[in-house]
Structure 1
Amino acid sequence: MMKKTGILFCRCSASVVSAEKLDELADGLGKYDADVYELQDLCALTVNEKDVLNTIGNEFDKKIIIACYPRAVKNMLRQGEIEFGDFEVLNFKELSSAEIFSKIEIGYQIPKGEARYQVQATDLNVPAWFPVIDESLCNLCGKCARFCLFGVYTYNKKSLKVVDPLACKNKCPACGRTCPTQAIMFPRLDENSVLAGAEPGEKKVTIDKGSLLTTLNQRNQNRRNIFRQGVVQQAEDERRKAIEEFKLGVDKKEKND
């Protein structure tokens, strides 16, 4: 018989939340009568320890994951081909430690006690800009794959996949900026944004009459074009810097050899 609930806590190594908050969460989670797994860290484990995560996922019929944005976590597990079944995510980027503990104790009815606390770690060093695709938003346009020069993606008209996330360069979320549907996320990005995994905002139209609507639509389109040009330029700059850093790394390696 499967155990009812397991708590999985990502001790993120990308500093998307402070070390103090991670310590506070670890300490607090140790005081609940529950099976708690401290994952060091979830991104790395989805690449290097898939069997471990699948085993944990199969052990419980309900999982509470304490990590970053739910959209990012859901798609990262799917991308890693990890079967986690029924789970919910408590976002430690937006929720305070007290709010997380309240949800565990009141919302999930987990009593205080002594946790059965385990640490799952990996030595894998994941780039800070580990990309994740939201398949529900991806329209398979292939812009990201064509824009990336580091072999992170494979693409054809029927499929887009992240095949080498570790090839992604630090401080180069350029492909995500070029995505027209905001389908690419970087869970290790230190900001609260759609690019980091927040839900894209809904577009609303509140005026529906006559020439005023036409004028406003044209003005909004002009603004979007200007904004888009700025985003594309930013993406080009980020990609250029990543290439320069890559070349420097190759040069240093050749000199050392």
Structure 2
Amino acid sequence: MVKVLIKGAGDLASGVAMAFHKSGFQVLMTEVEQPTVIRRSVAFANSIYEAKMEIEGVTGIHVTEENYADYLEKGNIGIIIDPVGAIKDKYKPDVIVDAILAKKNLGTKINNASIVIGCGPGFIAGEDCHLVIETKRGHYLGKIIEKGSAIKNSGVPGIVEGRGLERVLYSPVAGKVEHLKKLGDIVEQNDIILKVDGIPVKSPFKGVLRGLIVEGMLVPENMKIGDVDPRLFPEYCFTISEKAKAIGRAAVEGTLILGKEKGLFGVMKYE
């Protein structure tokens, strides 16, 4: 079986994992010890807190270096705490996809595996990876870049039904997070969604609470801790987004294209 290592296990990385898993690849993901993911209902990173996470019928298990192979052989996606991706030396993946979405390269190198793919800005195809996948919303979302980089980060969230930066919730102060609402709730403008160190964080408009950082986390001031979706469809909170699907499918396609060129995975190259 072809082995894939995905760095990061947030909602977009989870879309990548789903695409590879459904296409018959074996998938192991890496995460930090305390993930700050907010779209936890569609992120395998949440398994770090809850031991396992099911998304659209696929199970992700929080694994260790000692037991990951057993869970992968049973058809699960494994999520291991490994901030630097050191497990690659033992796992020996055929494909590495850096989907941390840090807007910069945190250490991925083109010689880490037979195929190395970087998602979003911060990577240069042909230098630190073989391919780059465009992650910016719009016409080029999911574009497979064989030379050069993705569009630079604008610092402004994508527009959803006219809402951009105001969709995102930030911590007003440093402190401990306390939930008053849960993921999938429909909230009204000025509803208190959560508190940080006792300070309320209110909904900017009527919408669905799509992102909410894990309760009890200690966060610094001005950290992204949630987001509100102006579309009133709670089910969107529990299924892989169109953006994550586009990025995931592009990563699989890119893998097969390179597999054909390199004579890997039994992919036919027609003369």
TM-score by length of 2: 0.24
Q: Which has the higher strand share?
A: 2
Structure (1 or 2) with the larger CA radius of gyration: 1
Q: Which has the higher helix share?
A: 1
TM-score by length of 1: 0.25
